[in-house]
Amino acid sequence: MLAAGEIERLQITGGTIYDPANAIPESFIRMNRIKLTLKKSPTVVLEAEVITPDYFLERSNEEICTSVVYHGKREKRLDEFFDVEGEYSDCIEIHGDLHRVRHVGRAMTRGEVIIHGDVGMHLGALMNGGGIEVFGNTGDWVGGEMKKGKIHIHGDAGQQVGAAYRGSMVGMKGGTILVDGNAGIEVGMRMRRGMIVIGGTARDFAGLQMKGGTIVLCGGAEIRTGAWMQRGTIISLKDIALMPTFAESGIYNPTFLNVYSRHLNTLGIQLPFAEVDGRYRRYSGDQGVPGKGEILIWEPVV
């Protein structure tokens, strides 16, 4: 026998009584997407770590509405800033200009977050699964120290994409970050594994202190690319200026790029690798560390 307060929590799915205290059917989770619509723009930074699929999955609409966010140093309810529709789901859709909203998708392990508009710093930081898609621009530290999952930005990204936080020795440890537009400084700083693809231009210090993984720069980069890198691969489809601590070590078409190209094709990204189209000039470094990383610069057939 259910208590009176529990009756309101019951949902009917597939002709059976659904109690959210028990296991949640996957079909119910996918069907019951949660929608957040910004109704009041924050006047200062809004810390919203609760906006994650893991947190929303186990909560009713009322519990989501009363979730605590921090407007500056003051505790506020989530529904003071957002209209909330839906409950008990790991699929979240957000509408509005969230450039002052931080930590969306922090440490998420499952589900998806879709954002229609700009979003602030630390999107998907410490992420360990699931997917985030943004139809807008993002702030700094997108996917900071993430381990798994995929983030796709259909606009520009700020600084330190997939990078380590200050004082941390290891940045991104896995997963994929796609940025259709440009990115700021220190893309992939201290990253260990994973892949970052920048469709536009990256600013200074792309791959700073890189320890592994792959960065693809479709539009090239500005100065000091690969500074102090120890391992890993940076691929640039445009000619870039390199530091003198990188030594040229051949012109060839790496066989592993065939595998990369097939994977990136599934993500809508074309990575050239055929000899009839051109070759890659390889540079090793940063020999000032010393390091064993590599930078591959595409040279198309003219």
Residue-wise DSSP of 118-130? -B-S-TTTT-EEE
CA distances from 239 to 154, 209, 217, 222 (A): 24, 21, 10, 10
Position 290 scores a pLDDT of 86
Is the pLDDT reported for residue 1 higher than 50? no
> Which tokens belong to 124?
């998907």
| pLDDT the model gives residue 121 | 97
202-218 pLDDT tens trace: 999 999 999 999 999 99
pLDDT for residue 113: 98
Residue 7 predicted with pLDDT over 80: no
pLDDT tens-place string over residues 260-281:
899 899 888 889 888 888 999 9
pLDDT of residue 24: 58
CA dist 183 and 238 (Å) reads: 15
CA distance 226 to 206: 6
The larger pLDDT score, comparing residue 25 to residue 230, is at 230
Task: Answer yes or no: is pLDDT of 9 > 50.
Answer: no
* DSSP bridge partners of 71: 46, 74
DSSP 262: H
In the DSSP assignment, the letter for residue 79 is G
pLDDT band at 22 (very low <50, low <70, confident <90, very high): low
Q: What pLDDT shows up at residue 273? A: 85
Structure tokens at 221: 């980069």
Average pLDDT, the chain: 90
Of all helices (H) and strands (E), which one includes residue 279? strand 278-285
Domains of the chain by residue range: 121-300
Q: What is the average pLDDT across 18-45?
A: 73
Binned at pLDDT 50, 70 and 90, residue 302 comes out as: confident
For residue 256 the two structure tokens come to 């592993």
CA atoms within 13 A on the CB side of 126: 9
Q: Which amino acid is at 195?
A: M
**Is the model more confident about 297 or about 256?**
297
Cβ proximity of 166 and 142 under 8 Å: no
* Residue 174, Cβ density class (10 Å: 0-12 exposed, 13-18 middle, ≥19 buried): middle
pLDDT tens column, 139-163: 999 999 999 999 999 999 999 999 9
**More confident: 20 or 286:** 286
Model confidence over 181-203: pLDDT tens digits? Answer: 999 999 999 999 999 999 999 99
Pick from 220, 173, 178, 172: nearest CA to 197: 178
Q: Which amino acid is at 76?
A: K
d(CA 187, CA 163): 6
Provide the pLDDT confidence category of residue 23 given band limits of 50, 70 and 90.
low
**More confident site: 117 or 3:** 117
- pLDDT of 4 reads 44
- Taking residue 47's Cβ as centre, other Cβ atoms within 10 Å add up to 20
Which secondary structure element, helix H or strand E, spans residue 18, and what is its range? strand 16-18
Residue 69 has pLDDT above 90, yes or no: yes
Give the predicted TM-score (pTM) of the model.
0.89
CA distance 31 to 164: 36
Report the 10 Å Cβ neighbour count for 51.
26
Q: Virtual CA dihedral for 240, 243, 248, 254, nearest 10 degrees?
A: -50
